[in-house]
Amino acid sequence: MIAEKKLPAKLSQRQVIGILFRDRAARAYTFSALGALAMIFVVMYLNGSDIGGVLVVLLGSAALVLRWTAMPPFLLLVIAYFHACPFGIPDFGSENPYQVRETYFQVADMVLVMAILVYLRAQYRLFGFVHQIMPFENVFRRKGDVPTRRPSSHIRPDEIAWLVGITGGIVLLGQGAWWLVNALEFAPMENFPLRWSDPKSLRVFRRDLPPGEFRAGQHRFFVILGAMFFGTLLLRLVFSYWQLRMMSAAEGAMVMTDTSWAESHRERVRVEKWRIWGRTRAAEAAKQAEQERKQAARKAEQQREKQAAKERERERKANRAQRD
C-alpha cells in the first residue's frame, strides 16, 4: 500500500493522487467524497441551480486533489448562496409565509444536508492522510517541522459505515429539532413560556400584534436561544456528573484538594504569612538571645581576666614586700 511506505515531509502531486486513488484504505474516503459531491449536484440541479451544482463539483474536486484546506468552508457559502438564489441572481420579491415553517423532513433537504456532512467528514479525513492531521506545536511553522499525517493502515474496515450512520442520525436529529422549533411559540405572558403553535394561523404575520405576541422569526429566535441555554446547562451537569463517576480515588482526591485550595487559598495564604512571620520573629528573638548570651559570657570572661590580673598584681606586690 502506498500510504504505508516511507513518505517524504512534502508530498508531490503524483504521490497525493496515488494515495487518494490507489491506496485501498484511503480510496473509500475518496469515493465517499466524490459520491457526496455528486448527490449535492443532483439536489441542486433539481432545485434549478445547475450552475451552482457544477461549480460545487468543480471546486470540491479541486480541493480534494489539490489539498485546498480553505475550500470546504467556502464551498458551504457557495451552496448556501445557490440554495437561496438558484439562478445565481438575488430575487427576494415574493415569499411564502409557510416556506420556512414547513421545511422539515423534506427528502431533498435531508439528502442535501447528509451529502454535505459526508463530504466534509471525508474531505477532512483525506486532509489528514495527504496534508496534515495534527497542528504544529508553534503558531508559525518553524524550519525543520515535519507535518504529522495519519497512516492509512489505521483505518478500520467499519469507518465508512459509521460515518454514514452517524451522519444520518445527525440529519434526523437536526430535522426533529427544527420541527420542534417551528412547533413551539414563545409566550412570556402565560404561566409556562412555551405553547404549541397553530401551523395554519396567520396571526404572527400581521403588522399589528397584541402585547406578548411575536412574529414567526422572533418565536424561533427565543425558542432556539432558550434551548441553547438550558441544553448547555443540562449537558454540562450530565457530563460533569459522568466525569465525576469515572474518576478514580486518586483523581478524586486531587480534585478535592484543588477545589479546597481554590476556595480557601486566601485564608491559607494569610495563615501561612502569619506562621512565617511568627517563625521569623522567633528566629530573630533566638538570635538576639544568643547574641546577648555571648556578650554576657564575653563580659564575664573579661571580668574574670581582670580579677585574675588583679590577683597576680597583688601577689607580685606581696612577694616584693617579703623580699624587701
Q: Bigger pLDDT: 234 or 89?
A: 234
Which residues face 148 on adjacent strands? 134
Counting Cα atoms < 13 Å in the Cβ hemisphere of 73 gives: 2
Distance, C-alpha 25 to centroid of its chain:
29
Closest by CA position to 163, among listed 206, 128, 115: 115
> In this structure, what is the dihedral angle of CA atoms 45, 47, 52, 57, given to the nearest 10 degrees?
-40
pLDDT at 196: 85
Q: Bigger pLDDT: 150 or 168?
A: 168
Residue 2 has pLDDT above 50, yes or no: no
Q: What's phi and psi for 196, nearest 5 deg?
A: -75, 140
What's the rounded Cα separation, in Å, for the pair 146 and 9?
6
C-alpha cell at 28: 473509500
Does residue 61 contact residue 48 with C-beta atoms inside 8 Å?
no
If you average pLDDT over each of 43-47, 134-138, 209-213, 263-267, which comes out highest?
43-47
pLDDT at 320: 80
pLDDT tens string 90-137? 765 555 555 565 677 888 889 999 999 999 999 999 998 888 888 777
Give me the DSSP letters along 241-268.
HHHHHT--HHHHHHHHHHHHHHHHHHHH
pLDDT at 204: 54
Map grid coordinates 437561496 to a residue.
84
Handedness of CA 196, 201, 202, 208 (dihedral sign): negative
What's the rounded Cα separation, in Å, for the pair 184 and 195?
6
Residue 1 has pLDDT above 50, yes or no: no
Residue 5 has pLDDT above 70, yes or no: no
pLDDT at 149: 84
pLDDT band of residue 55 (cuts 50, 70, 90) is: very high
Cβ neighbours, 10 Å, residue 48 = 12
pLDDT at 168: 92
Does residue 3 contact residue 19 with C-beta atoms inside 8 Å?
yes
Among 1-10, 76-85, 124-133, 312-321, the range scoring the smallest mean pLDDT is 1-10
What's the average model confidence in pLDDT over 174-189?
86
C-alpha cell at 111: 439528502
C-alpha cell at 20: 487518494
Q: Mean pLDDT score of the chain, rounded to an integer?
A: 84
What's the rounded Cα separation, in Å, for the pair 129 and 16?
9
Does residue 79 contact residue 45 with C-beta atoms inside 8 Å?
no
Closest by CA position to 184, among listed 173, 192, 196, 174: 196
Helix or strand or coil: residue 185?
Answer: strand
Closest by CA position to 133, among listed 158, 104, 154: 154
Residue 156 has pLDDT above 80, yes or no: yes
Using alpha carbons only, how large is the chain's radius of gyration in Å?
Answer: 41
pLDDT tens string 185-213? 888 878 888 888 776 666 656 667 777 77
pLDDT at 98: 53
Does residue 99 contact residue 199 with C-beta atoms inside 8 Å?
no
pLDDT at 3: 42
What's the rounded Cα separation, in Å, for the pair 113 and 175?
10
